[in-house]
Amino acid sequence: MLDVKGLQVRYGTVLGVDGLDLHVNQGEIVVLIGANGAGKSSTVNAIAGLVRPVAGLIKFRDADMGKLDAAARVEHGMALVIEGRGVFSEMTVRENLELGAYSRPAIRSAALRRAADHAIAMFPRLGDRFDQAAGTLSGGEQQMLAIARALMSSPKLLVLDEPSLGLAPRIVDEIAERLTLLSSEEGVTILIAEQNASLGLDIAKRGYILQNGRIALEGTAPELHSNTDLIRFYLGGQSYVRT
């Protein structure tokens, strides 16, 4: 479904991504694990069209994404939950969700309401806070809102950049559980960039370990699970890996 080849992202003289290949098959949950600065955000931002790579091919659902801007990629069925969530704090939960449907301008209010109902069915606590300003939500609730907002465009591929960042383990587990359901019950394909290897490997089918902008290791989740020492090494000992 998603095929990335030879991706290179450069910031002036800094190489953020240095010739990366990865693919995600229809229906899979795939995790891209890496330490701070490994190039996770650069990779997913390039996939979503937020940064322009200097080289490489990004193919999604049989189409070349190279010339498409971020909005066109959303229309094509890709949605990114950016690192740090990016919810609009002054706007209510409802307004944030409505913004997520911007790629579907013809959507009528009843359909919009249905889409919002569907998105919050995943995260019921958002329903209780529908008319509350997003900035007053807890960090975990804001992450849930960011995911729910991405779902408003009915993506075929959901890409998440560090969904566990700054959240308590219980909330991370809740989000992981919802993402698993999204995949198994609704067939949404998921790519997660994470520093938290345990979150990724608990729910993913396959994973890639990223180091200095390159894939250092790849394998099925059980294969990577059995290599926790190696993962710890690539993560510079900074991440806890559940064994």
Ligand X SMILES: Nc1ncnc2c1ncn2[C@@H]1O[C@H](COP(=O)(O)OP(=O)(O)OP(=O)(O)O)[C@@H](O)[C@H]1O
Report the distance separating Cα 218 and Cα 3, nearest Å: 15
Structure tokens belonging to residue 42: 């650069």
What part of residues 57-96 is at the interface with Mg ion (CB under 5 A)?
A: 83
Residue 86 CB, nearest approach to Mg ion (Å) = 13
**Binding marks (x or -) toward ligand X, 168..197, rule CB under 6 A?**
---------------------------x--
Distance (Å, whole) CA 39 – CA 149: 25
Cβ closest to Mg ion, residue 102 vs residue 240: 240
Which of 123, 234 has the CB closer to ligand X?
234
Least distance CB 9 / ligand X (angstroms): 7
CB 198 to ligand X: min, Å: 15
CB of 159 to ligand X, least distance (A): 13
Work out how close the CB of 40 gets to ligand X at its nearest, in angstroms, rounded to a whole number.
3
**With CB under 5 A, what is the number of residues at the site for Mg ion?**
3
HEC-encoded secondary structure of the chain: CEEEEEEEEEECCEEEEEEEEEEECCCCEEEEEECCCCCHHHHHHHHHCCCCCCEEEEEECCEECCCCCHHHHHHCCEEEECCCCCCCCCCEHHHHHHHHCCCCCCCCHHHHHHHHHHHHHHCHHHHCCCCCEHHHCCHHHHHHHHHHHHHCCCCCEEEEECCCCCCCHHHHHHHHHHHHHHHHHHCCEEEEEECCHHHHHHHCCEEEEEECCEEEEEEEHHHHHCCHHHHHHHCCCCCCCCC
Q: Which of 39, 56, 200, 207 binds ligand X (CB under 6 A)?
A: 39
Single out the residue of 7, 22, 31, 42 in contact with ligand X (rule: CB under 6 A).
Answer: 42
Q: Which stretch binds ligand X (CB under 6 A): 35-43, 53-61, 112-120, 147-155?
A: 35-43
Two structure tokens written together for 52: 């322009």
**Least distance from ligand X to the Cβ atom of residue 215, Å:** 13
- From 41, 96, 196, 211, residue interacting with ligand X (rule: CB under 6 A): 41
Residues 80-119 touching ligand X, rule: CB under 6 A, are 83
CB 225 within 8 A of CB 33: no
Q: At what angle do helices 139-151 and 109-122 cross, to 10 degrees?
A: 130
The binding track of 13-52 with respect to Mg ion, each residue x by CB under 5 A or -, is: ---------------------------xx-----------
Q: Does 164 help bind ligand X (rule: CB under 6 A)?
A: no
Q: What residues line the site for Mg ion (CB under 5 A)?
A: 40-41, 83
Q: What residues line the site for ligand X (CB under 6 A)?
A: 11, 14, 16, 34, 36-42, 83, 195
